[in-house]
Amino acid sequence: QKEVEQNSGPLSVPEGAIASLNCTYSDRGSQSFFWYRQYSGKSPELIMFIYSNGDKEDGRFTAQLNKASQYVSLLIRDSQPSDSATYLCAVKGNNRLAFGKGNQVVVIP
Amino acid sequence: NAGVTQTPKFQVLKTGQSMTLQCAQDMNHNSMYWYRQDPGMGLRLIYYSASEGTTDKGEVPNGYNVSRLNKREFSLRLESAAPSQTSVYFCASSEAPAGEHTDTQYFGPGTRLTVL
């Protein structure tokens, strides 16, 4: 089983809709969880991190963590064309970040 | 602040050639990392340095060496390049030493390397 799994994309959403991204991880000892956004040809940039069970909101983004079920999700509300990118889930454990392969999101105007 | 800088931005090598990728950060971060990103594989950790003077292997260290020259600089060396090392290489840094609860990593712009 891969350390960090993201369901295969791409995900197409209409402008203004909610985009929902999911990520599961295998190491129960993982402590911190991160979502990065990566535009084509660019480097990853942090959207937000979460380390407590529940929801964490930052603007149009909400991260949700459920350690018992070992998943973390990202919701993007009121999706904009500028949100079209690949979203990377990363999980902290064993002194390093393990990344998922990413989910491509395409927002259709 | 420039953040994390990498040189060069692009490089083409022939099989067997050597080169060093340079990375520097001006955020006074303790930890630095080298990743490679390949289509369909995601980001994979090559080496990291939790603090000045220390380096550790990551997921895919074979064929690479690193040097933590000082707190600011962390270089990645390919001694004898192979076509399998064609990839995009990202350097990253974080404030916390590895093992801290939060470890936000900031990435450089990347180096696109092609080995023929």
pLDDT tens by residue, A56-68? 999 999 999 999 9
Distance of alpha carbon A47 from the chain centroid: 9
SS (H, E, C) B28-41: CCCEEEEEEEECCC
Q: What is the pLDDT of residue B48?
A: 93
Selected residues 9-68 of chain A with any CB under 8 Å from a CB in chain B? 31-32, 34, 42-46, 49, 51
Predicted pLDDT at A3: 87
Q: What is the pLDDT of residue B102?
A: 61
How long, in residues, is chain B? 116
Interface with chain B: mutation pick from A65, A97, A101, A103, highest number of B CBs within 10 Å: A97
* CB within 8 Å: B42 and A99: yes
Q: Please identify every stretch of chain B with a pLDDT value under 50, giving residue numbers as ranges.
A: none
Beta strand spans in chain A (E): 4-6, 11-14, 19-25, 32-38, 45-50, 54-58, 61-66, 71-76, 85-93, 96-99, 103-108
* Cross-strand partners of B33: B48, B92
Q: What is the pLDDT of residue B100?
A: 55
Query: What is the CA angle B38-B44-B48, rounded to 5?
Result: 135
Mean pLDDT, chain A cut into blocks of 10 residues (109 residues total):
79 96 92 93 94 94 96 96 96 84 95
Cα nearest neighbour of A102 on chain B: B42
Chain B contacts of A31, Cβ < 8 Å?
A: 101
Contacts of A32 in chain B (CB under 8 A): 101-103
A54: CB partners within 8 A, 6+ apart: A64, A65
